[in-house]
Amino acid sequence: STKIAAQLKKIDPNKLWTVPEYKLFVKSQKKFLKNLIKIKKDRNLSNAKNNQHKIYTDAIDLGICLIEPISCFPEFKKICTTIRKAKETYMPSWPPISPVSISAYNSWCQFDLCSGIDKESLASCVIDINQILGMDSIVTFLLNAAQQSRWGIYKVIKKLDNDGVLLEELINNKQYECHTANKHPITLDELWLVRILPPINDLSDRYTLYTSPYVLQFGEERWQEFLQRSIVSVKNKNSLEEKYYKFMKYGKSDYYWLEFIFQAYNGHTNMVIYLRGLPDVSISRPHVSNNGILKDHQSNFLS
């Protein structure tokens, strides 16, 4: 993002006002900050889940206003080509149109898809040049929290009050109290593939489910085995935690997690999407493609 920042520094700030997306950003940011003050005064716990999710989505939308103009820079040509192909292939929506939800797709193309040695995404570049763009520090903080997020596989431990749920991550057994505005019935020991965002200070001490849950139907033991053998192959990371983070955020290729969702689709409700099978065992998935994105592991899981 150093090249991009250098280019933006040469731009006359007054010319930014001729860019529709930037004008929308300035107007929307003022509205967002004004609304944030009102929300923080609301101490009703039953409203916290909706308020926190809205704050995150509004902050991310602000970032998108800035991502659009800079995405035309030559440095982003490869990323934008990848995004365009993904949109044509996976048609993000909700079943029956596509099992790749809009929130899953957007978080991938904004926060996970990256290029270069420094793993720069569209959002991380906006964050790096936030002062040049006039982004408020609060918006920058929230956008950075979203940028640091990743997919995770969690087991439902118990239902909490005020529409909360306690989740435990498979690989490290860390537990997270989460808000869920989703009306999907809480089923103990159910496995979720989901992206969570951290609590916002002065608003809540619970995490927020940013994406609608993907319910995994292949059993905890099989998923534990899959994660263990997958993170072993992750390079240039020392700790188990670092390997797990890199694998869940980037997969084994750009389209890895989107392709798995696409091939593993096994039904849905208005609240969740069901997935069956493992990314590295093709015969375990309801839909199989020979595009080479999901490579098989030699497994005797059927024995």
Per-residue model confidence as pLDDT tens digits over 23-45:
888 999 999 999 988 887 775 65
The answer to whether the beta carbons of residues 67 and 123 sit under 8 Å apart is: yes
- What are the start and end residues of each CATH 2.40.50.140 domain in the chain? 151-284
Find the mean pLDDT for residues 51-62. 91
C-alpha dist (Å) from residue 132 to 48, 129, 137, 229, 293: 32, 5, 12, 43, 38
Give the pLDDT confidence score for residue 2 in this predicted structure: 66
pLDDT at 303 over 60: no
Where are any strands of DSSP class E within the chain?
151-160, 164-169, 175-179, 191-197, 207-209, 214-216, 265-268, 273-275
pLDDT at 138 over 80: yes
Give the pLDDT confidence score for residue 1 in this predicted structure: 61
- What residues does 279 pair with on adjacent strands? none
Tokens of 17: 């006002």
Between 274 and 13, name the one with better pLDDT.
274
The separation between CA 142 and the C-alpha centre of its own chain, rounded to angstroms, equals: 13
pTM of the model: 0.91
- Confidence band for 12, pLDDT divided at 50, 70 and 90: low
Look at the block and give the residue holding tokens 């592991």: 297
pLDDT at 87 over 90: yes
Q: 151-284: which CATH topology? A: OB fold (Dihydrolipoamide Acetyltransferase, E2P) (2.40.50)
